[in-house]
Amino acid sequence: MNKVTRWDNVVKLTHWIVALLFLTNYFITQAGSVIHQWIGYTVVGVVIVRLLWGCIAKPPARLSSFLPSIPKAIEHVLEVASTRSDEHQGHNPAGAIMIWCMWCGLLITGASGYLLEAHLFGSHHLLKLIHVTAVNITFGCVCIHICAVVVMSKITGRSYVKEMLPGQSKKK
């Protein structure tokens, strides 16, 4: 039987704010525009809030509850394939790797974007390359994340999206 994760409101709010703002910057705003910059700063701030929250929150939001491990992720994928079940409370081992990759990508994107606009380093070309690469790798991670949620929901019958929606925290 699949467990249901009860995400707290800070996790849910930071998740959806980051998702909305990252995709807005990726698809809608003009690169380098003032609104693009401020959305980027906001994303970095929200990720930092989530990371700080993860230092003091209870599991499953606590960062130590989902440290990335490739061997555990492989074991998890094989287990799901054979049992068609996911018994993890919070991020499963494969999801843990993805969330850490997305957070790192978002922070690198934000830092390189800031440095690009602040003209603090002479190598504008290198910073732009780092920024664009980080953005595209992060977008790739987002796509994999979304596909994994859909596939895992189909395989396990567990509604991962519903667990992340507002109002789903209370036990019934």
The tens digit of pLDDT for each residue in 128-148 reads 999 999 999 999 999 999 999
Residue 61 included in any domain:
yes
Rounded CA gap, 52 and 151, in Å?
Answer: 30
In a domain, 172, yes or no: no
The pLDDT value recorded for residue 161 is 94
Q: Quick one: tokens of 35?
A: 């609104």
Please tell me what DSSP assigns to residue 30.
Answer: P
**Which tokens go with 1?**
């039987």
Tens digit of each residue's pLDDT (9 = 90 or more) over 12-67 = 999 999 999 999 999 999 999 999 999 999 999 999 999 999 999 999 999 999 99
Record the pTM. Answer: 0.92
- Least Cα distance to 86 among 63, 111, 60 occurs for 60
The pLDDT assigned to 120 comes to: 80
pLDDT value for 122: 74
Q: With b meaning 16 or more CB within 10 Å and e meaning fewer, what string describes 42-53? A: ebbebbeebeeb
- 72 lies in a domain? yes
What is the per-residue pLDDT across 66-111, written as a single tens digit (0 to 9) for each? Answer: 999 999 999 999 999 999 999 988 999 999 999 999 999 999 999 9
Selection from 66, 52, 32 nearest residue 135 by Cα? 32
- 4 within a domain of the structure (yes/no): no
> What average pLDDT does this structure show over 6-14?
96
**Would you state the pLDDT for residue 168?**
61
How many domains, the chain? 1
CA distance 15 to 104: 15
Residue-level pLDDT at 172: 41
pLDDT for residue 6 is more than 50: yes
Q: Which domain holds residue 38?
A: 9-164
In a domain, 105, yes or no: yes
Q: By the 8 A CB rule, do 106 and 47 touch? A: yes
Query: Is the pLDDT at 1 greater than 60, yes or no?
Result: no
In a domain, 170, yes or no: no
Between residues 168 and 151, the one the model is more confident about: 151
Identify which has the larger pLDDT, 125 or 2.
125
Instruction: Say if CB 17 and CB 46 are below 8 A apart.
Output: yes
| Predicted pLDDT of residue 57 | 97
Is 81 contained in some domain?
A: yes
Residue 40 within any structural domain of the chain: yes
- Give the model's pLDDT for residue 123: 81
Q: How many residues does the chain have?
A: 172
pLDDT band at 4 (very low <50, low <70, confident <90, very high): confident
